[in-house]
Amino acid sequence: MIDADVRYYPHFFSKNMAEKLFKILKNTIKWQQDDITVFGKTYPQPRLTALYANNDNAYTYSNITMKPNPFTKELLLIKKELEKVCTISFTSCLLNLYRDGQDSNGWHSDNEKELGHNPIIASCSFGQARWFHFKHKNNKNLKQKILLQPGSLLLMQGRTQECWLHQIPKTQKKVEPRINLTFRLIT
């Protein structure tokens, strides 16, 4: 992709490990549903979220401020595996639980000031495969989509957040739950 550094590892975790981690995360994470305000109207966020970290640094996005829980042993295991292919040691993980096809995440960039300049985002998917869409901020003809498989890793770094938007769109298809972990360095 132009103006981006995106790497996709479709089978980063084995099928068995991905299924095991999905079940554990779904049942042990402290999921919450925050309200989000879009164009002056407030709605329940269309997914469940949680923040875990090895520090007390809060994370704010879309006027939602989250305080972290301490990493679980499963999150530390995943983090350790990710750091074998990444150049940094992640401090935080924002988790998303998409319960069905109506749960989504609209167009955005992970470009909050706490993430620093050109952040590295390591995104792991477990559960149902879902389409992940990219579109360039300046050239509307530049679009890309990737089917994020269970056990996959999508690594976004370089100018990706500066130049591209991404989303998980709603779908009318019947889909099972999906968990996404986005590891990041929050300063």
- Which domains are assigned to the chain? 5-174 (2.60.120.590)
Average pLDDT score over residue span 140-166: 95
The pLDDT score that the predictor gives to residue 128 is: 96
Residue reference for tokens 């994020």: 148
Strand order in the sheet with 69-70: 5-9, 152-157, 121-127, 178-184, 92-98, 48-53, 69-70
Residues in the chain: 187
Task: Please check the confidence at residue 129 and state whether its pLDDT lies above 90.
Answer: yes
Instruction: Say if residues 133 and 164 touch (Cβ distance below 8 Å).
Output: no
pLDDT in tens, 1-22: 889 999 999 999 999 999 999 9
Q: Average pLDDT for residues 84-90, to the nearest whole number?
A: 90
More confident residue, 11 or 115: 11
- Residue 138 CA to residue 76 CA, distance in Å, equals 37
Name the β-bridge partners of 14: none
Per-residue confidence (pLDDT) for residue 115, from 0 to 100: 87
pLDDT of residue 28: 97
Which residue from 72, 46, 155, 53 is spatially nearest to 114, judged by alpha carbons? 53
Alpha carbon distance 184, 187 (integer Å):
10
pLDDT at 37: 80
